[in-house]
Amino acid sequence: MIKQRIIVAGGAGYIGSHVCVELLSGGASLLIIDNFANSHPEAINRIKELAGAKVDLLQADLADPSQRKNIVDTVKRFQPTGGIHLAGLKAVGESVAEPARYYRINMGSALTMAEALEAAGAKMLVFSSSATVYGEENENPVAETGAASPTNPYGRTKYFIECMLKDIAEADPHWRIINLRYFNPVGAHPSGRIGENPNGVPNNLFPYIAQVAVGKREMLNIFGNDYPTKDGTGVRDYIHVCDLAKGHAAALRYLDQQENGCALDMNLGTGAGYSVLEAVAAFKRASNRDIPYAFAPRRDGDVAEIFANAELAENLLDWRAQKSLEDMCADHWRWQSQNPDGYET
């Protein structure tokens, strides 16, 4: 197999930084494209430190038409073998308030990434999709054949990008594409050197719990305790970000081995669902810190319960999530306690 030369769009972000460390440790060469809108340049230093390898970096905005030519030329010069597209906005609530911005940035950046890879003759792409494409009427565990009915603009951008990439692959069978549908990525690299670094008040459960544990937030509001679930609180399929990163490396290996073109949707989850209260209890055990909470009204757009059928990735990619909820909490806590102000620390 020839040495992988991978473009990682959004490589300085939470998922992206863990994917870069995993790919570098597997011997790949990387060109990271990031505009640092929702990430920090320090993450690039930490990636190089952890991997003991250099990376090429292009600070650019894939959604900015005026930067498109420079991006395409830089990608062509790198002579990639493929790409991973993680760049985009990802806050569900914000997407409801600013839909046009979400469509412009998420769809525009994905299209520029695909066109840059095509111009470089590297028609191999792993796309960072999301379980949000499933909406709320599928039976659990949800398989890739489940109905795609996203209930918010963020989820619709993910679904529309999946469709756009499938249309591109349909028109040109040299394209090999996997849309990875992440369930709930949490945790951090065991070193504590890279992790989730949300701007402002965290939207997601784990970073919020971690900030309560470290004393940055007073208490956790649990959105709804009257759901038809094991304890009334929302149930999700939390997956360790390092397992998720390994899933990306496995997806690239799979695509690299394909003789013919393909465009596949693939869940990355553990197949297990944990409630908010179970996550809080696990985090308390891992951090040995109290996590004060109060029950609050349900959050608009939340589903009661969703967890993955991950058999397709297990069978095709020979990949399976290995880490437990305890690992997720312990690693998330190590990152948070060692970096109380994230990369600003």
- For the CA atoms of the chain, what is the radius of gyration? 19
3-state secondary structure labels for all residues of 113-177? HHHHHHHCCCCEEEEEEEHHHHCCCCCCCECCCCCCCCCCHHHHHHHHHHHHHHHHHHHCCCCEE
Q: Does 208 bind ligand WQD (CB under 6 A)?
A: yes
Q: Does 204 bind ligand WQD (CB under 6 A)?
A: yes
Size of the site for ligand WQD (CB under 6 A): 18
Q: Beta-carbon neighbour count of residue 194 at 10 Å?
A: 25
Nearest CA-CA partner of 71 in 112, 20, 129, 118: 112
Q: Does 95 bind ligand WQD (CB under 6 A)?
A: no
Name the one range near ligand WQD by CB under 6 A: 5-13, 136-144, 166-174, 203-211.
203-211
d(CA 157, CA 111): 12
> Which residue carries 């990376």 as its tokens?
55
Q: Does 302 bind ligand WQD (CB under 6 A)?
A: yes
Q: Return the number of the residue (78 or 159) whose C-beta is nearest ligand WQD.
A: 159
Name the one range near ligand WQD by CB under 6 A: 36-44, 96-104, 108-116, 204-212.
204-212
Cβ distance 218 to 166 under 8 Å? Answer: no
Catalytic residues, by residue number, are 154
Q: Does 110 bind ligand WQD (CB under 6 A)?
A: no
**130-230-321 Cα angle (round to 5):** 40
Closest contact distance (angstroms) between CB of 212 and ligand WQD is 9
Q: Which of 149, 299, 311, 324 binds ligand WQD (CB under 6 A)?
A: 299
Q: Which of 28, 188, 276, 317 binds ligand WQD (CB under 6 A)?
A: 276
Q: Return the number of the residue (4 or 130) whose C-beta is nearest ligand WQD.
A: 130
Site residues (vs ligand WQD, CB under 6 A): 90, 92, 130, 132, 184, 203-205, 208, 220-223, 234, 236, 276, 299, 302
